[in-house]
Amino acid sequence: MCGIVGYIGTRQAAPIILDGLSKLEYRGYDSAGMAIYDGERIVTKKAVGRLKILENLTRGGETMPGTLGIGHTRWATHGAPSDANSHPHTNQSGTIAVVHNGIIENYIPLKKKMEARGCRFVSETDTEVLAHLLDYYYRGNPLEAITKVLHRVEGSYALGIVFADHPEEVFAARKDSPLIVGQGEDGCFIASDVPAILRYTRTVYYMDNQEVACLRKDGMRFYSVDEEEIEKEAVSIDWDADAAEKAGYEHFMLKEMYEQPRTVADTLSPRIRNNEIVIDELKMTDEELRAIHKIYIVACGSAYHAGVTGKYVIENLARVGVEVEVASEFRYRDPILEENGLVIIISQSGETADSLAALRESRKRGFRVLGIVNVVGSSIAREADSVMYTWAGPEIAVATTKAYSAQLAALYLLAMKLARVKGTVTEERFQNLLQALRRLPDQIELLLGQKEKIQHFANRYLGARDIFFMGRGIDFAISLEGSLKLKEISYVHSEAYAAGELKHGTISLIEEGTLVVAVSTQPYLYQKTISNMVEVKARGAFVMALTGEGNLAIEKASDYVIYLPITEPIFANSLAIIPLQLFGYYVAVGRGCDVDKPRNLAKSVTVE
Ligand code: AGP
């Protein structure tokens, strides 16, 4: 999504803004720009393409002197990627500049009104309407003009705004799109996300909806959209700077895969105390947990896939019915939700527009919402009734790995907590499950050690046109994620299928040499899945099997077998995903793809 950085202080603004924007590249973008006050006027430079182009255009910011400014990386929503559509946008006289992340939903009628008043638009964007509206309401008081505009616009926004005749202030405003404010030794910052300003400050303020910030070089004030001053709590960021760097790995994605033992442990261990599951942040008594008779898991992409696994795990352990749905469907289909239902929104970024909308729809209907979120202080985290954080740290690669694994861990904990309070598992089984959870990080570590073997196998499929994944039960759930990991970074077409479903159509696509990845980790389904493997092999498929150690019978139906350490079958997805992530990664690397920033994708889809 778009990235915003702003600065006001004692140092040159442009180099700081360029550096900050480079730390936001992971959000996905197609153009970049800056507006800097040079002592007399606002100078704006912008260019379509990678940030490097803007850096070269401004000689690293040298050609844009000034200690106050705003910058932006744009992920196009309204108007194709172009210099004219890049941000910042200004009013006609160039005395007001604005950068924006989000969507102004009523920009067309507003644009018509401004044009009728003689405004000349130079772009196709919704954002430019804001610049002209600010000009329309501005009578010398920036805060007054901003709040008037915010009362007129509908939709989502994170804004950075500068006024040429107020060169001692930078303004920010936020509704639905994330925005933080930071204070460092040499000045104050606005940014879409922490990595952009982490090298300058660890003290940040997460802006809430419909708040406005006024930054000066030595401090800031916060206001409501009714211009009432408000107090905000600072948050101290404890990420080390390296966390946002690659730490020696070739790609963020590989680094984050290798962080999974730790992030799974970080998510599990604080919640396992004295051989019990303790999830205080649920803010629900055992009584309230016992009263839950239905769960709705709503999410997008990989988070949705984690939810599919969650369904199998929660139903198996806690015997509570679980429905899983993609948020973009849930939010518009007027869902029928049962009394005593709990809605769980899973989201790494905590800013996915469809998931946030599903949360709001659920709360509007009076349902309790639990967020399983990775980004602390994100919108979903703050708007849910309670939130279980997946302590995976900043995930930079667009393709999620460590956050996904942490989501599985969080769902296991929730399932076990529900099973405990509902008495649906014996003490012995509960303790065995606990033991299995504790072993997962080391077992993940062990599987990561097989990366060369996976890489060697992956290199045989760099030219593949189609690759199919199949499994039964939770093996189907992990097949969904394995397929997405492959296709979203290698651009190789892939589909995941319930293994029993292939013969109802898709098997017609199996040709000589087609790779089928069969996941078979559930002993009670071993034989069934072997039958499906025989079916596809009979039609020429090359079958790569993932199965538990000891299931030697699978070899007669496979061409290549990866054995997984033995764990409680219900937790097997946490192990099976490792070779699947590595496979997708090495196919993508072998195909020369931009692994961390795949084409057309963004790390956080904060617009519909
Ligand atoms: C996963 O690799 C993708 N990047 C994407 O499917 C992602 O899981 C989805 O957009 C949901 O994002 P969220 O978890 O931040 O809500």
Question: Is 361's C-beta closer than 6 angstroms to any atom of ligand 1?
Answer: no
Question: Is 349's C-beta closer than 6 angstroms to any atom of ligand 1?
Answer: yes
Answer whether residue 247 shows pLDDT above 60: no
Query: Is this structure's pTM higher than 0.75?
Result: no
Residue 377, pLDDT score: 73
Per-residue confidence at 175, pLDDT binned at 50, 70, 90? very high
Beta carbons within 10 angstroms of residue 118's beta carbon: 8
* High-pLDDT (> 90) share of the chain, %: 84
- Which is higher by pLDDT, 482 or 236? 482
Compute the distance from residue 412 Cα to the ligand 1 centre, in Å: 20
Compute the distance from residue 315 Cα to the ligand 1 centre, in Å: 24
Compute the distance from residue 352 Cα to the ligand 1 centre, in Å: 8
pLDDT, average across residues 27-34: 85
Closest ligand 1 atom, CA of 603? 4
Question: Is 400's C-beta closer than 6 angstroms to any atom of ligand 1?
Answer: yes
Per-residue confidence at 77, pLDDT binned at 50, 70, 90? low
- Please write the tens of the pLDDT for every residue from 593-606: 999 999 988 888 88
Q: What does the mean pLDDT of the chain come to?
A: 94
| Torsion 265-270-274-278 (CA) sign | negative
Is 398 in contact with 300 (CB distance < 8 Å)? no
- Which is higher by pLDDT, 527 or 273? 527
Three-class DSSP category at 564: strand
Please tell me the distance from the alpha carbon of residue 361 to that of residue 252, in angstroms, as a whole number. Answer: 35
Question: Is 314's C-beta closer than 6 angstroms to any atom of ligand 1?
Answer: no
The interaxial angle of helices 427-448 and 573-590, nearest 10 deg, is 20
* High-pLDDT (> 70) share of the chain, %: 98
Compute the distance from residue 602 Cα to the ligand 1 centre, in Å: 9
Per-residue confidence at 245, pLDDT binned at 50, 70, 90? low
Answer whether residue 420 shows pLDDT above 90: yes
**Structure token digits, residue 223:** 């206001």
Please tell me the distance from the alpha carbon of residue 589 to that of residue 295, in angstroms, as a whole number. Answer: 39
Compute the distance from residue 545 Cα to the ligand 1 centre, in Å: 26
Question: Is 328's C-beta closer than 6 angstroms to any atom of ligand 1?
Answer: no
pLDDT, average across residues 427-444: 97
Residue 205, pLDDT score: 96
Compute the distance from residue 296 Cα to the ligand 1 centre, in Å: 18
Least Cα distance to 4 among 177, 248, 151 occurs for 177
**What is the 8-class DSSP label of residue 176?**
B
Closest ligand 1 atom, CA of 305? 8
Answer whether residue 1 shows pLDDT above 80: no
Answer whether residue 534 shows pLDDT above 80: yes
- Which is higher by pLDDT, 25 or 384? 384
Residue 604's alpha-carbon distances to 214, 343, 462, 473, 564, in angstroms, are: 26, 21, 28, 29, 32
First and final C-alpha spacing in the chain: 11
**Which of 1, 257, 300, 351 maximizes ligand 1 atoms within 8 Å of its Cβ, making it the mutation to test the pocket?**
300
Compute the distance from residue 603 Cα to the ligand 1 centre, in Å: 7
Question: Is 195's C-beta closer than 6 angstroms to any atom of ligand 1?
Answer: no
Question: Is 348's C-beta closer than 6 angstroms to any atom of ligand 1?
Answer: yes
Answer whether residue 142 shows pLDDT above 90: yes
Residue of minimum CA distance from atom 10 in ligand 1: 301
From 2, 188, 214, 593, active-site residue: 2
Assess whether 175 carries a catalytic annotation: no
Residue 27, pLDDT score: 67
Question: Is 303's C-beta closer than 6 angstroms to any atom of ligand 1?
Answer: yes
Least Cα distance to 101 among 53, 142, 154, 156 occurs for 156
Answer whether residue 345 shows pLDDT above 60: yes
From 23, 111, 537, 603, active-site residue: 603
Answer whether residue 72 shows pLDDT above 60: yes
pLDDT, average across residues 317-344: 96
Contacts of 575 (CB under 8 A, 6+ apart): 440, 443, 444, 447, 521, 564, 565, 567
Per-residue confidence at 177, pLDDT binned at 50, 70, 90? confident
Residue 347, pLDDT score: 98
| Torsion 52-57-62-64 (CA) sign | negative
Closest ligand 1 atom, CA of 375? 15
The interaxial angle of helices 301-318 and 402-422, nearest 10 deg, is 20
Contacts of 364 (CB under 8 A, 6+ apart): none
Answer whether residue 289 shows pLDDT above 60: yes
Beta carbons within 10 angstroms of residue 552's beta carbon: 10
**Which of 27, 302, 380 maximizes ligand 1 atoms within 8 Å of its Cβ, making it the mutation to test the pocket?**
302
Residue 302, pLDDT score: 98
Assess whether 246 carries a catalytic annotation: no
Is 78 in contact with 128 (CB distance < 8 Å)? no
Answer whether residue 314 shows pLDDT above 80: yes
pLDDT, average across residues 12-19: 98
pLDDT, average across residues 456-479: 95
Compute the distance from residue 346 Cα to the ligand 1 centre, in Å: 10
Question: Is 536's C-beta closer than 6 angstroms to any atom of ligand 1?
Answer: no
Amino acid (1-letter code) at residue 304: Y
Residue 477, pLDDT score: 98
283: left (phi over 0), alpha (psi -120 to 50) or beta: left
| Torsion 54-56-60-65 (CA) sign | negative
